[in-house]
């Protein structure tokens, strides 16, 4: 992989700087990670919640393609390198206290989830008067067959 791009991160000096300023001063957690919400730019659908380390965030900013840190595999993860489902960044946002990232992306094939669905969030949880009922599948059919795309690669889900 190419050399890590030189994207400067500012030192976090004050609440005003972090909340109201124009300097990127991301906060990484005790594992060196920042959570990233990724939505489909066209529909607003949440596709996944991933995590980035410093290098993944820098590579995403510089390349305009989503990079994450895979917590299950403990490697830098250029999303789509295996499946071809590259996420092209339409917009990258940072939140008020700069400890979360929002990526709006375009994806080929309209699929993002390793299980084969469009979004990782393919099931809803009944609430209110329906609380306690079984999960409901909001996506009825898989967009692709994960066995064909990933072959024998280990499933990233951990119990």
Q: Which residues bind its own copies (CB under 8 A)?
A: 5-8, 12-15, 18-24, 27, 35, 37, 39, 43-46, 48-49, 60-64, 89, 91-97, 100-102, 113-115, 117, 120-128, 131-132, 134-138, 155-159
**Cβ distance to its own copies smaller for residue 24 or 76:** 24
Minimum CB separation of residue 112 from its own copies in Å reads 10
Closest approach, Cβ 49 to its own copies, in A, equals 4
Closest distance of CB 88 from its own copies, Å: 10
- 76 or 100, CB closer to its own copies? 100
Please, are residues 91 and 104 in contact by the beta-carbon 8 Å criterion? yes
For its own copies, the closer of residues 24 and 86 by Cβ is: 24
Q: How far is the CB of 22 from its own copies (least distance, A)?
A: 4
Tokens for 105, please give them: 């992306």
């Amino acid at each position: 992989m190419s050399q890590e791009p030189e994207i400067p991160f500012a030192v976090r000096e004050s609440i005003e700087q972090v909340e109201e300023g124009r300097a990127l001063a991301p906060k990484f957690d005790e594992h060196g990670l920042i959570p990233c919400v990724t939505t489909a730019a066209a529909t607003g659908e949440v596709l996944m919640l991933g995590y980035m380390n410093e290098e993944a965030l820098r590579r995403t900013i510089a390349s305009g393609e989503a990079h994450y840190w895979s917590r299950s595999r403990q490697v830098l993860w250029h999303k789509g390198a295996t499946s071809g489902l590259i996420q092209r960044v339409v917009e990258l946002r940072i939140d008020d206290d700069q400890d979360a990232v929002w990526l709006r992306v375009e994806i080929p094939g309209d699929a993002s989830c390793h299980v084969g669905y469009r979004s990782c969030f393919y099931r809803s949880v009944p609430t209110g008067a329906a609380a306690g009922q079984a999960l409901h599948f909001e996506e009825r059919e898989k967009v692709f067959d994960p066995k064909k795309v990933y072959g024998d690669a280990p499933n990233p889900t951990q119990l």
